[in-house]
Amino acid sequence: MTDSPKSRDLYERAKRVMPAGNTRHTVYRQPYQVYAASGDGCRITDVDGTVRIDATGNFTSLIHGYGNPRIREAAIGQIETGTCFGMPTPGEVRLSEILAERLPAVEQVRYCNSGTEAVMNAIKVARAYTGRRVLAKVEGAYHGTYDPAETSQDARPESWGDADTPASVATARGTPQGVLDDVAVIPFNDAARAERILRAKGNDLAAVLVDAMPNRAGLIPASDEFLSMLRRVTREMEALLILDEVITFRLGYHGAQGRFGVDPDLTALGKVIGGGFPVGAIAGKAEYLSVYDPSEGRPAVQHGGTFSANPVTMASGIAALEELTPATFDHLESLGEQFAKGAADCFARHGVKAQVTGLGSLRRIHMTDASLTDFRSLFATPDAAQQVADLARAVFDEGVLMAANGLMAFSTPMTRDDIEEILSAFDRALPRVLDGSDR
């Protein structure tokens, strides 16, 4: 790794006061973490002055990159008038109106501070509305760190159980067995098997939680057959369908639900809708969100949150969404396609077995030519995950920031030249990854 003395010193200090010097596993790196100093457009400058092109956008949330003038102005304006109040503010009304206008399945919105909380609250709404306990979720899919939502992401095949009834596996040690017992794990894009698992839960099934393109299960788009089965079966079983759009909202002007043509009861939102500030939202049909209604006495679900709907997030989120016009989605779409094609050419030039999954501005690199269909298929090539992590480290030295699992998120300030710059970093990095000289 390129030497970064200021980062090394910061990391030495961090190790004394933070576990392993780290506060987000997703940004951990060895032998030390490299600290960001500033961002501009689609580039980040670290504390030692090295500039890199940012192909993660803070894990997909910064769709407009850094320093977008309109978002800046909105955020600074709000900071000057007040960062948070023990009162509602007009911004929450406007942001909700925009989300309800754009997302076909959203009538109402309620705010929290992260995608984790949005998913947690959606599950609580579904349980309160149905009076049932079981949550079904896709094997390997990440939905934040609420206990039931984080089950079954274990990379060890011996933990998986058979394909007909995938096991509900704890992610955090100490997760109560009762939590695991109330989660039904379904295989991604396998409509027949998933339907059998759901039906077996009968009147206990409260909700199905699904991401239409789950990153950690491969960033593979859900099939129409799978999504329409989930919609049909949840309706028949009187359970709710929760769509996690924390990442995939950025797939189109009408969100993932517009792009995939799915009509969820509840939608979990986060990331992009906060314009770069902490955010989460539980959105959906008014009938279900009525479990929060306090107008006639104690609501079925209690929910507040000191910083929920904080005005700086609301102002920045409004500006970010107003900047997200249909034309910007066309631009993001073409950047994603340019990258996918360019990466495929680059892999071919180097004779590497690799592929790119994803859609639009969200792409993920896999160092395997095996057919990728679901979470389990990601582990068919033993070295694939390590090689992607090696590639991420190597391109970091070549001036590109990407996630260690190969996830990339492109942003509106990027141009075709920026994508070419990313691809040429791949060209330089790949030989080092292939000969293992970076390990």
Binding region for ligand PMP (CB under 6 A): 59, 114-116, 119, 142-144, 211, 215, 244, 246-247, 270
Q: Which CB sits closer to ligand PMP, 165 or 175?
A: 175
Which CB atom, from 119 or from 315, has the smaller least distance to ligand PMP? 119
Q: Is the peptide bond before 176 cis (omega within 30 degrees of 0)?
A: no
Residue 112 CB, nearest distance to ligand PMP (Å)? 9
Closest separation between CB of residue 117 and ligand PMP, Å?
Answer: 7
Residue 44's SS3 state is strand
Neighbours of 438 (CB within 10 A): 14
- Read off φ and ψ for residue 352, nearest 5 degrees: -100, 140
Instruction: Work out how close the CB of 69 gets to ligand PMP at its nearest, in angstroms, rounded to a whole number.
Output: 25
Of the pair 24, 298, the CB lying nearest ligand PMP is at 24
The residues, ordered by sequence, that sit 6+ positions from 342 with a Cβ below 8 Å of its Cβ are: 419, 420, 423
Using the minimum distance from each CB to ligand PMP, give the nearer residue, 95 or 237.
95
Phi first, then psi: what are they for 329, rounded to 5°? Answer: -65, -40
Give the nearer residue to ligand PMP in terms of CB position, either 42 or 246.
246
Looking at residue 27, what DSSP letter applies?
G
Of the pair 119, 429, the CB lying nearest ligand PMP is at 119
Residue reference for tokens 């079925």: 300
Minimum distance, C-beta of residue 215 to ligand PMP, in the bound complex (Å): 6
Kindly provide the residue ranges of all beta strands, DSSP E only, lying in 17-58, ordered along the sequence.
Answer: 36-40, 43-46, 51-54
- Structure-block tokens of residue 342: 């360019």
* Smallest distance, ligand PMP to C-beta of residue 56, A: 11
Residue 246 or 332 with smaller CB distance to ligand PMP? 246
CB of 384 to ligand PMP, least distance (A): 20
Show the DSSP H helices in 170-310 as ranges. 177-181, 191-200, 224-237, 255-260, 286-289
Q: How far is residue 368's CA from residue 216's CA, in Å, rounded to a whole number?
A: 16
Nearer to ligand PMP, 114 or 334 (CB): 114
Backbone angles phi, psi at 379, to 5 degrees: -105, 10
Task: Please state the closest distance from residue 147 (CB atom) to ligand PMP, in A.
Answer: 14
Q: What are phi and psi of 240, to 5 degrees?
A: -95, 150
For ligand PMP, which residue has the nearest CB? 115
Strands 355-359 and 362-366: antiparallel
Minimum distance of ligand PMP from residue 244's CB (angstroms): 5
Give 363's contacts (C-beta < 8 A, 6+ positions apart). Answer: 219, 336, 339, 340, 343, 356, 357, 407, 408, 410
